[in-house]
Amino acid sequence: MHGLETLLLRLATTVASSAAKSLFAARPGAGLVPDRVRPLPGPAGPEKLARVLAERISSRYATLPEHERLAAMTAVQDTFAAAGPLDAGRLFAADLDPGRLAAELERPPAGLAERGRDLYGELLGLCCAHLVEQLTAEPSFPARAAVEQTRRSGTLLRQRTDSGEAGFLGFEQRYADFVAEAHSRLELYGVTLGDRRRAEWPLETAYLSLGVTGQDRYEPHAEGVGATPPAVRVEQALADCHRLVLRGQAGSGKSTLLQWLALNAARRSFGPELADWNRCVPFVLRLRAFNTPDGLPMPEEFLPAAGVPLRAPQGWTEDLLAAGRALVLVDGVDEVPQRLRGRTEHWLRSLITAFPKARYVVTTRPSAVPDGWLAAQGFGTHTLLPMDRDDIRTFVRHWHEAARRECPADGERDLLDRYEESLNEAVATRRDLGRLATNPLMCALLCALNRDRRMHLPRARKELYDAALDMLLVRRDTEREITSVEGLVLSRDEQTALLQRLAYWLIRNGQAEAARQDAVAMLDEWLAAMPQVRAQGDAEQVFTHLLNRSGLLREPMPGAVDFVHRTFQDYLGAKAAVEARDFGVLVRNAHDDQWDDVVRMAVGHARVEERGRLLRQLLRRADRTPRHRERLVLLAAASLEHAPELDPAVRAEVEERAGALMPPYTSKQAEALARAGELVLELLPGPEGLTEREAGAVIRTARLIGGDAALRVISRFRADRRPRVLSELAFAWESFDTREYFEAVLEEGGGEGHILNVRDAEALTLVPRLHRLKRLNLIGDHGLPSEALDNENLEFLGFARNAVVSDLSPLRGLPRLRDLSLNQCPAVTDLRPLSGLPLTRMHLSGFGNGFSLAPLADLPELRHVSVDFLPSERGLDELSFAPRLTGLSFFDQACFMRLTGLEALTSLSWLSVHDDRQWRDFLSAGTFSPLQSLQVLNVAEVDLGDLTPHRTLTSVYLGRVAQIDHIGALAHLPALRSVSFSRCGPLDLTPLAPLEDVEIQLYDCEHVLGAELFPRERLIID
């Protein structure tokens, strides 16, 4: 080794001298002055580096021939000799990365064998690492690094300033001002119909907060609590998650909600419930604008894609996304053609992967995406509910207030008072109008027609559209003596013919909007068959007339045109399809959710013989395509309400096929049946012969349909005391007239078995009439009402969204109270007034962080606690009462509570863990109790093999788990009877098929294999 040692020492000396000469010998301190004021330590000698290189050669290359080793070392020495001075600039240019430096210097000679080249690479890497290490160890390094960092920051800042961008903060304010102005007004449809001037109303005044379905949250109440997740206001749903898919039918208010979110984010005006959203910057992306092969926008394209005429500083959008300050509002997945939805999903997944901290809200019609769409990416799913009675009255009031402001004459304003009163009465008393008014768009249309027709309203949906078109296209301008404003006079039929062709072209091409030049070109072609119109003007003039005078078209952005609402596009497109006798086209596309309303309205437009043919063709296609069978049959059934005249044999065949889908078994099936309308009510069976789940689904179907006939169906179940049935009966109350439903359904049983949800004052006054009521949930600012405190039978009492209740001591007057729920009661600041009460269960949610659980130690009978906030105690071992618990649940914010000391809870039978840390704590605790029910939420990866030691488990619930491994391990749990998966990643249920005693429940799970192996009673897909 003598020759090798000599060569190694020479190599090390060469490397060391490269550093010493160029870096430190003449550059004391930061190297900013030519003469040092004091000596600095010299660089390290080469001996240590030589030893390191020798050890690497002897340990890994001992078998390499000596001439190869000598050649490799000589090549490294030559590389450094040829590199020239390795000054600070070169090392900082490599970001002090030895690997980058080695890659820059690497010059292996051509004659080296493969192993010799490997040795060359390793020796070069070790030498570069030594250089960087030597640099960072020098006393001058911190000063030199500070100078380098300052220079780089200054260069970046100058680049931004030199490019004319004054900085991120300044631009953010300009952008916020633009968004606030652009989204500050809401058009209330029909206030000034037929006028080019839109009836716009301040959004903060006109906006109506709607209800959404609550998130599924499983709680193991033996009585069935939680079988039906309660409705919540959309703001509460948003507060609970950073990623949300919001589903709603056409006209349900999805786009308006996104507009409201954008406005409040821009103004930083969210209330306490969404206070954290005030730090967000909104980006509104309407997917209808991206239905071209050009693709979807990347972050730097967000602003131009949204039509914002501002140029963002380079990197501004990405910085907001990366920091979690971006609010990405994606509107209208259903407006993307089916062939492009995979691209849309991939785009969203890529955004989330790249920017996981940002907030995302995505809207779609329910049928446009599969259950559990984006669940694996952590999206919660809510569905906008139909407006209830109070919502409708509020909306009607908003509309008429806007109309009054547009009215200069006192007499007309007085008439509007009468119109508002008559419409409220009509909606409350006429079933047909009541159903139509539950949708914001249809409610606005009713308001406009009620005014226009002097309180004489149509009954059916098609009649409503016909009347609206007559009002829009003819009467408003005629009665106002507005003629030939654009130099043309077009009849209703002429305008309708042109508009329906444009609508049908958009539908056939899967587009929600058209380029202006395309629309004008098509008009030019169509005018060839309308010489009387062409004689008045060219295609451009006709387009301008339709845009300005029809009230049906708008320009969402310069150079584009669409219909003011998709509903009108579908209505007119269906008319064009029928006139073209394109029944085959309708049937071929009937499985596509974008064609749902088109097919239904086509049944209304068609002649009697054509209707029968179209409906029978739908049924024939259902027979030929099993995967679309249920959907096509229900579409045919839903179309019957648009067929005032029909061959009785055809009607009977459709009803018979729909009846074969009875009874519904899941909430999804109930929703699908309800879309078919009132005819379903005659087919709904029960209660005799129905399982508990079927009976609950029947009640849900009737509730969603509504009306007197639906109430008669539900009243058949009033004596049924099965938990799921009781839950659905209680939940249906808010969908009907309060007193009428109470007397028809609730009063007979005296409230026995129900958890009664009370939302308004009228409902509260009826509570004392339920003499056997034991469970009451008060929603809203009811305080502590006497209707609750005077009921000595109460065993469960809940308060939700109650800002009035503060002192809990009056609850001592309820001797049988065992179960208490406090959800968003901000005035409650202390639980000590409950001390000594025989409460066995406590549910605490929505308290401010730092609220203490310590007073629960003074509840001697307490056995189950669920928490949905971050208490002041951060570890389970800080709760002295914990060892006596049999049930423990943590949700959302409570995920930061550590489960330290979990093994001390030896009586625990129910446990809910939330997030990865609590899951790891659970696994670390081992087998510590006879656990029966386990809920695992929001954990990245779960290996079900880890559960096999817990052989007493009877139910397992997994929610928002991205990856589930070894699902077959559940077969080793002998007591298991129920497994639930909610919004989980890909699942293969095949290993569970042989477990005949185990029921599987799926909630919004997107990718599932093996489902066909289970009979209906064992697999619930909801």
- Asked if 781 and 802 touch (Cβ cutoff 8 Å), the reply is yes
Contacts (Cβ under 8 Å, ≥6 apart) of 951 = 972, 973, 974, 975
CA gap 184, 177 in Å, rounded: 10
Neighbours of 42 (CB within 10 A): 10
Give the C-alpha separation, 548 to 485, whole Å: 9
Pairing of strands 380-383, 359-364: unpaired
Tell me if the bond preceding 687 is cis, omega within 30° of 0: yes
Sign of the alpha-carbon torsion through 600, 605, 611, 617 = negative
Q: What is the pLDDT of residue 306?
A: 82
The CA distance from 317 to 301, in Å, is 9
Please name which of 551, 553, 628 lies closest in space to residue 587, comparing C-alpha atoms: 628
Residue 810 is predicted with a pLDDT of 94
Cα torsion through 929, 933, 938, 939, rounded to 10: 50
Contact 867, 853 (CB under 8 A): yes
Q: Which of 396, 388, 398, 442 is nearest to 250 (CA)?
A: 442
Among 346, 249, 216, 226, CA closest to 1005? 216
Closest CA to 300 of 282, 288, 312, 284: 312
- List pLDDT tens digits, range 305-355: 888 888 888 889 999 999 899 999 998 887 777 677 788 888 998 899 899
DSSP calls for 513-571: -EEHHHHHHHHHHHGGG-HHHHTT--HHHHHHHHHHHSSSEE-SSTTEEEESSHHHHHH
Give CA separation, 475 vs 449, 471, 553, 829, in Å: 12, 5, 17, 61
| Low-confidence stretches of the chain (pLDDT beneath 70) | 1-6, 16-45, 48, 137-140, 142-143, 149-167, 185-207, 214-231, 240, 250, 291-294, 338, 367, 371-372, 408-410, 431-432, 435-436, 459-460, 471-472, 474-487
Enter the tokens of residue 152.
Answer: 């780089």
Q: CB under 8 Å to 537, separation ≥6 — which residues?
A: 486, 487, 488, 545
Other CB atoms within a 10 A radius of the CB of residue 387 amount to: 22
pLDDT value at residue 202: 62
* Phi, psi angle pair for 707, to nearest 5°: 95, 175
CB neighbours (10 Å) of residue 48? 12
> Residue ranges of the alpha helices (H) in 550-639?
566-579, 583-588, 596-605, 608-624, 629-639
What are the DSSP calls for 45-70, one per residue?
PSHHHHHHHHHHHHHH-TTS-HHHHH
3-class secondary-structure state, position 351 = helix
Instruction: State the first-to-last Cα distance of the chain, in angstroms, to the nearest integer.
Output: 75
CA-CA distance, 904 to 389, in Å (whole number)?
Answer: 51
Beta strand 232-233 with 211-212 is antiparallel
Residue listed under structure tokens 């992967």: 353
**DSSP collapsed to 3 states, 866-918:** EEECCCCCCEHHHCCCHHHCCEEEECHHHHHCECCCHHHCCCCCEEEEECHHH
Q: Cα–Cα distance between 60 and 52 in angstroms, integer?
A: 12
Q: What DSSP designation does 334 have?
A: G
Q: Left, alpha or beta for 31 (phi > 0: left; psi -120 to 50: alpha)?
A: left
Please report the pLDDT score of residue 840 as a whole number: 95
Q: Look at residue 528 in the predicted model and tell me its pLDDT.
A: 92
Q: Give the count of alpha carbons within 13 A of 352, CB side only.
A: 21
